[in-house]
Chains A and B, each alone.
Chain A
Amino acid sequence: MKSLVIKDLHVNIGDREIIQGLSLTIEPGKVHAIMGPNGSGKSTLSKVIAGHPDYTVTGGEVLMDGENILGMEPDERARKGIFLAFQYPMEVPGVTIANFLRAAVQARLPEGEELEATEYYYRLYEKMDLLEINRAFTSRSVNEGFSGGEKKRCEILQMAMLEPKYAILDETDSGLDIDALKIVSHGVNVLRGPERGILLITHYQRLLDYIVPDYVHVMVEGKIVMSGPKELALELEAKGYDWVKDEEPAAV
């Protein structure tokens, strides 16, 4: 079965349960948005799917195309097709974007196979043109001294090069002014396609004006409490998260 299936997931950090029985299915070709107030566990969900070592899964499964990925190292999950665009991308001093991506693409080749440099650069420049990114960008060190907007563009460029099956975008809109938001959204929209499932995590409805999701889910206190079509986001914007909390008993 082709899809990313999260089944009754329970996650702790230390003794505290952050995710309390969350289920969600992301099919290829679909964009799901998860909205929710601060502290609802949205970012935790993204990191758990990617395999961050600080979190302990105490119950449930995450299946990618039928295979449970929870026992895998983060890099194995990544090579199998999970991509996380970070809310706060890390700096890698002294390593250029071009070299970083080259190592990442190389890591996906079978053992003993060498990446062909000219082909690689051809593809890199193709993606950069697609995302309207200046050529000089990739000779800068990864995220070093980048503005918020540059960091997010760098994430989207990596996503374009690595062509994941399932991409999770964690608060991609945070810290962006409206121009940067438009540029980054354009990038994500270009990368939408029938082969790719996307999970957008956001606090604000604003992002969803630019990246229009197929489904909207509302997450409160580690659980999805409401799901609906894209219009749900607008309703949420108008009425606020308290409305969902009040509605919660009815929605379950």
Chain B
Amino acid sequence: MSEPKGDLDLDRSIGDFSYPEHHAFDAGYGLTRDTVNYIADVKGEPDWIREFRLRALDVFESKPMPTHWATKDLETLEFDKIRYYLAHGQRPTRSWDDVPEDMKQTFERLGIPEQERKFLAGVEAQFDSEAVYSNIQKAIGEQGVIFTGSTDALIKHPEIFRKWFGKVIPTGDNKFSALNSAVFSGGSFIYVPPGVKVKHPLQAYFRINAENFGQFERTLIIADEGSELMYMEGCTAPKFETATLHSAVVELVAMRGAKIQYVTVQNWSSNVFNLVTKRGIAHEEAEIKWIDCNIGSRLTMKYPGVVLKGRKARGEVVSIALASNGQHQDTGAKMIHAADETTSNIISKSISAGTGRATYRGLVHVPKHLKGCKNNTECDALLINTDSRTDTYPAITVRGTGNAVQHEASVSQISAEQIFYMQQRGLTEGQAMSLSVNGFVNDLVRQFPMEYSVELKRLIDLEMEGSVG
């Protein structure tokens, strides 16, 4: 990692860039009790949150890096050289003119709308996100839906927030959930009242645009009995972040009969460590579905999970990971069956190109006393080049009788004969690769909302161009 300087000048590969920043105030480098207190002060938080943060800091410091199972690359993280908080309103300002030409071209080729480009390039929000966001809030607010930021929620809606916050993913779940608990800022809070079905997907885009990205986002979504909601986070454009460590925590609660779909599409710049903890609790007859696409980053570790707590609860993870040169996608899913007749489904497809590495880690747990539980796991890996790598670590513990588990895994490689066949029809080698990869993930891409699936295809084309030759 590069040494932090007053003016950041990070070496980035294609599409990445650097620019000068001017931070009037921030929490400085490194993580101490002072950093945590500073964050609590700036955000004007109640004492219980301050105490929660400080306890989390102790847990973070006491936990070792999980390198006994995860990659040693984690050891290159230098926690004392990271800035943990930049206050709202003290963000860097820069104009569209400062954005490098090659990055503008990337946006052009991805077909990102003009206004969205400015946001993605880190240009200070000048457009109507605030207005769009408040319109959304107003429309769903009439149904009693709360859609706001985590800080706002813990101050304005403590009775709901406090009941669920940190309950799905306890602070001590892992080292990075503890880190997030100590320094979190940003992220969404959503509460959907009983029986309310939110018609349109709620997009993080407009909300975080109004408030800026956080490195340590904290999202909590509660769907009350019989309600339904789809939430979308991220977008296919590369996120040009100055911070190299991102560690989010996302907690979902689906009460009896509720349905939550959580869609993520992320494309990080190649210097980013993206270490995320995502989990949901599904009560009786509730359904939680994670749809997840991970592209870019130096290392992504993410295993969305569902705790199937109530009878007949359902959990599903659909994930696509694309690891290009120098990237490591360590992703998977966790399904914890904790009631009778619960079902879970995991479908994972990964693509490793160049020196990219994709790892699948799955955990399916069905204890002995349960009856009528079902799990289906399919994980397919596609290797593009001979030096690409894929690993699969499925851990399935199913005890007792009357529970059914099915596991299928495959590894395939695009053959030279297939590429020749496609080239004979007039496609370049790169186009042939792209089309093959798109074909490989096609059935999963269809599960993404329309606008994402179109962008995903374009993005795969762009990524593959860089992996050929």
A interface residues (Cβ-Cβ under 8 A, vs B): 50-53, 73-75, 78-79, 83-84, 86, 89-95, 99-101, 103-104, 107-108, 141, 158, 162
Say yes or no: A107 contacts B428, CB within 8 Å: yes
Distance to closest chain B CB from A109 (angstroms): 10
Contact present for A95 and B425 (CB under 8 Å): no
Q: Does B423 contact A (CB under 8 A)?
A: yes
The reply on B439 being an interface residue by CB < 8 A is: yes
- Contact call A104/B425, Cβ cutoff below 8 A: yes
With contact pairs A95-B442, A100-B425, A162-B426 given, residues A90 and B418 touching in the complex (Cβ less than 8 Å): yes
Nearest 10 pairs of A and B residues by beta carbon: A94-B439, A95-B439, A90-B421, A94-B442, A74-B423, A104-B425, A78-B426, A75-B423, A107-B426, A79-B426
What are 14 sample pairs from A and B whose C-beta atoms fall under 8 A apart?
A: A51-B423, A52-B420, A74-B423, A74-B424, A75-B427, A78-B424, A78-B425, A90-B417, A93-B439, A94-B440, A95-B435, A103-B427, A107-B425, A158-B425
**Residue B438 at the chain A interface, CB threshold 8 Å:** yes
A53 to B417, CA, bound (A): 10
Chain A, residue nearest B428 (CB): A75
On chain A, the residues within 8 Å of B422 by CB distance are 90, 92, 100
Q: From B445, which residue of chain A is reached at the shortest CB distance?
A: A94
Task: For residue B448, give the distance in angstroms from its CB to the closest CB of chain A.
Answer: 15
> Does B174 lie at the interface of the complex (its beta carbon under 8 Å from any beta carbon of A)?
no
- Tell me the smallest distance from the CB of B239 to a CB of chain A, in Å: 28
Question: Is residue B441 within 8 Å, beta carbon to beta carbon, of the partner chain?
Answer: yes
Q: Are B443 and A94 in contact (CB under 8 A)?
A: yes
Q: In the complex, A103→B416 CA distance in Å?
A: 19
Task: Say whether B435 contacts A92, CB under 8 Å.
Answer: yes
Q: Once bound together, how far apart are the Cα atoms of A100 and B435, in whole Å?
A: 8
CA gap between A89 and B428 in the complex, in Å? 18
Interface of A is mostly: mixed
- Give CA–CA (A89, B417) in the complex, Å: 9
CB-CB < 8 A to A141: which residues of B?
Answer: 439
16 additional contacts (CB under 8 A) given A90-B417, A92-B418:
A73-B428, A74-B424, A75-B429, A75-B432, A78-B425, A78-B426, A83-B424, A89-B421, A90-B415, A90-B420, A92-B439, A93-B439, A94-B441, A94-B443, A95-B442, A107-B431
A residues near B429, Cβ cutoff 8 Å: 73, 75
Contact check, A162 vs B425: say whether CB atoms are below 8 A apart: yes
Q: Contact residues of B with A, CB < 8 Å?
A: 415-418, 420-429, 431-432, 435-436, 438-443
Cβ distance A14 to chain B, nearest Cβ, rounded Å: 16
| Chain A nearest CB, measured from B432 CB (Å) | 8
Quote the shortest CB–CB distance from B192 to chain A (angstroms).
Answer: 35
The answer to whether A108 and B424 have CB atoms under 8 Å apart is no
> What residues of chain B lie closer than 8 Å to A91, measured between beta carbons?
418
Which residues from chain B contact A86 at a C-beta distance below 8 Å? 421, 424
In the assembled complex, which residues on chain A have CB atoms less than 8 Å from the CB atom of B440?
93-94
Bound-state Cα–Cα, A94 to B438, Å: 8
Question: In the complex the two chains form, what is the Cα distance from A52 to B422 in whole Å?
Answer: 12
**For residue B436, which residues in chain A have a CB less than 8 angstroms away from its CB?**
92, 95
A104 — which chain B residues lie within 8 A by C-beta? 425-427
Q: Check if B431 sits within 8 Å of A50, measured CB to CB.
A: no
Set of chain A residues within 8 Å of B423, measured between Cβ atoms: 51, 73-75, 78
Q: How far is the CB of A77 from chain B (nearest CB, A)?
A: 8
Complex-state Cα separation, A162 to B423, whole angstroms: 13
Q: Which residues of B contact A52 (CB under 8 A)?
A: 420
Q: CA separation between A90 and B435, bound complex, in Å?
A: 14
Whether A103 lies near B428 (C-beta < 8 A) is no
CA distance A93 to B420 in the complex (A): 15
Q: Give chain B residues whose Cβ lies under 8 Å from the Cβ of A79.
A: 426
For residue B388, give the distance in angstroms from its CB to the closest CB of chain A.
Answer: 18
State how many angstroms separate the Cβ of A41 from the closest Cβ of chain B.
Answer: 18
CA distance A162 to B426 in the complex (A): 9
Q: Which A residues are in CB contact (< 8 Å) with B420?
A: 50, 52-53, 74, 90
Best-surrounded residue of A52, A74, A89, A101 (most CB of chain B within 10 A): A74
Report the bound CA distance from A50 to B425 in whole Å.
10
* A77: nearest chain-B partner, CB-CB: B424
CB distance from A88 to the nearest CB of B (A): 8
The chain A residue with its CB closest to the CB of B425 is A104
Nearest chain B CB to A163 CB, angstrom units: 11
In the complex, residue of chain B having the shortest beta-carbon distance to the beta carbon of A50: B424
Q: How far is the CB of A157 from the nearest CB of chain B, in Å? A: 12
Residues on B with beta carbons closer than 8 Å to the beta carbon of A158:
425
For the complex formed, measure the closest distance between the CB of B205 and the CB atoms of chain A, giving whole angstroms.
27
Q: Which residues from A are CB-within-8-Å of B415?
A: 90
Report the separation of the CA atoms of residues A227 and B91 in the bound assembly, to the nearest whole angstrom: 80
Which residues of B have CB within 8 Å of A93? 439-440
